[in-house]
Each structure stands twice: as structure tokens, then as C-alpha cells.
Amino acid sequence: MKPFLALMICAPLLAACNTTETVQPIPGSITYGGQPHMKLTLSPPGSQFQHHFTNQWGEDVVETYIIQPDRSLKLVNREVMTPED
């Protein structure tokens, strides 16, 4: 009975930890407006790479992508660095 009670208490907490937020493309992102027409054929699926660009407010942006098994790109992280005065 105790393991069942522990499971009933912990299950909602574990379920809350499993939420996934998706990072949406912004102007300047590789996947903004859809997947690119060219596929990365030399990099294996699961490979990560970063894309650096400047957004419309002059902030430096670094995005991390993962190559999916179908060769599409998944945007997994974005960091925005505000310019130092």
C-alpha cells in the first residue's frame, strides 16, 4: 500500500517536469517561414550547430539547432545578448 501511495503523490510532480516548451522561430532564424530548401546531408542526425545573427533591435542572437532523422532542423535553444553600453 505504501508504494502505491508514494506513486500517487509523486506521479503529478513527475508529470509536471515533463513539459516541453518549443522555441518559435523569429525573423533571422534559419527556420523562420518554414524549413530551409537545402538539407544538411553531411552531418549525421542528432548533430547540433549554432546560428548567430542580429535581430531587428540590434541584439546578438545565438540559436542552437539539432538535425532530425528526416534531415529537418529543430530549433532547441535561443540566447539573446543585449548590447553593452
DSSP structural state of residue 66: E
Residues with Cβ within 8 Å of 82's Cβ and at least 6 positions away in sequence, in order, are: 59
pLDDT for the residue numbered 48: 97
Q: Is the residue at 51 inside a domain?
A: yes
> Residue 54: which domain range?
21-81
Is 12 inside any structural domain? no
Our count of domains for the chain comes to: 1
Residue 38 falls inside a structural domain: yes
For residue 18, name the pLDDT band (cuts at 50, 70, 90). Answer: very low
Please report whether residue 1 resides in a domain.
Answer: no
In tens, the pLDDT along 21-56 reads: 789 999 999 999 999 988 788 899 999 999 999 999
Q: Which are the contacts of 4, defined by CB distance < 8 A and separation ≥ 6?
A: none
3 lies in a domain? no
Distance CA(16)–CA(13), nearest Å, equals 5
pTM metric for this prediction: 0.70
Please report whether residue 13 resides in a domain. Answer: no
Calculate mean pLDDT across residues 54-76.
95
